[in-house]
Amino acid sequence: MARLFLTYVLLITCFLLGGCLDDRWQRGYVDAYVPVYDNNPSLRQISYLPARKTQNGGKLYTYNTYVLQEESDSGLHIISYQNPANPVKTGFLRIPGFQKALVDGDYLYADNYNDLIVVPLKELPSVAHVARVSRAWTQKDFPPFRSVYFECADPTKGTVIGWHLTKVNDPKCRTQFRYYDGYGEQKPRLSAGIVANRGFIYFADNTDIISYSVAQPLSPIQQSRYQTGEMMDSLYVFNDMLMTTDVRGTGGSLYDITDPRMIRYRNMLVNLSSCYAMLPVDRFIYAVPNPAKKMCYPVSSTSLTVNEIKDDYSIVPMSALPFDSAYALALSGTNLYAATAKGVSVVDVSASPTLKRLADKNADPYIDVTIRGTQLYCRSNKGIDCYDISSPAAIKLISKFAY
């Protein structure tokens, strides 16, 4: 009787802890995913090509008089604004498997499938000196589904470009449930981006934060790998701090990166998350609900909030300004520019946490903004609008560049 009772207790314990019986590793032929490899050397070939039509235009970056625009999975459009009134596409930087980038100084850092590449922008159109760190990322090494078996990826067989479901005898790999918990059956496409701070770059690899020294930009050296336990949607750097948000829209974390070799957790984000477009500046974080995050909507009201980071790393809401939801924020001097569904809004933040609305420019719905000098570039689904912001309260349209 005692043995029977003990067995019953163990079974109940297993059930409460997650279903031990259902979690057993299956043997024999089971449904499993196998990698689809491609050994074509062109997948690792970075090339400068003639200008081409924008198919799925993404985030904007600036370099000298150029705007670089993402084209998901394939590279970056190069657009010359030497004459801001007449922008011209000059070429296309082909990067197979491309999803994220950073322009820092004279260099472009980007992903080429699982590799980190560094492109000297001042040498374009030449790409003779592209640097590469193989397998800086590992997130393409397993299928984007939870609790599935798969054939372990073998990098010697080529680049993994996809996954095929079939029968596999005794597969040795399985995706971890916790990585996918809360996202449904398929993992969201992760592209938290690449950020830079004081000669180091940071990016997310699944639930890890990776740092590299780029003191010698063409010879990046890994400094640390920090396990966060969260799948990250966005990364922000400011004042030797790194802020992350998770893809669920439930929060994020604040880290001290004073020593990039020793990333230190400082605090949890409670009232801020990937549901917001955010911009950290000095000790303040500006945040406004982001309509692109549909899982966070509807919201009862929207406002631009100012949150202050205290000496103990606590984050305290300080003030709020009634505001339209915004897709992106950018700063020039003491003025904040917001991309909204109505156009662009300008806010004076010189006396933060007190905010002063300066102007609202009605235009197409904008989904991204970036700034170079006195020029503001706003991206819509139709093209890129360039504004003169030398007078922030009265910004003027310079040109419209249609896709």
CATH number for 191-274 (one of 2.40.10, 3.40.50, 2.60.120, 2.60.40): it is: 2.40.10
pLDDT digits (tens, 9 = 90+) for 184-238: 444 455 678 999 999 999 999 988 999 999 999 999 999 999 999 888 989 999 9
> Does 301-403 match 191-274 at the fold level?
yes
Q: From CA 262, how far away is CA 221, in angstroms rounded?
A: 15
**Amino acid letter, residue 94:** R
Instruction: For residues 48 and 38, give the distance between their C-alpha atoms in angstroms, rounded to a whole number.
Output: 22
Residues 6+ apart with CB under 8 A from 215: 199
Percent of the chain surpassing pLDDT 70: 89
Residue 143 reports pLDDT greater than 90: no
**pTM of the shown model:** 0.86
Extents of the domains making up the chain: 27-189, 191-274, 301-403
Does the pLDDT at position 178 exceed 80?
Answer: no
Residue/partner pairs of 168-174 with CB below 8 Å, 24 or more apart? 168/29, 168/30, 168/32, 168/34, 169/28, 169/29, 170/27, 170/28, 171/30, 171/32, 173/142, 173/149, 174/25, 174/147, 174/148, 174/149, 174/150
Per the CB < 8 A criterion, the answer to whether 281 and 303 are in contact is no
Which class in CATH covers the domain with range 301-403? mainly beta
Q: Is 241 left (phi over 0), alpha (psi -120 to 50) or beta?
A: beta
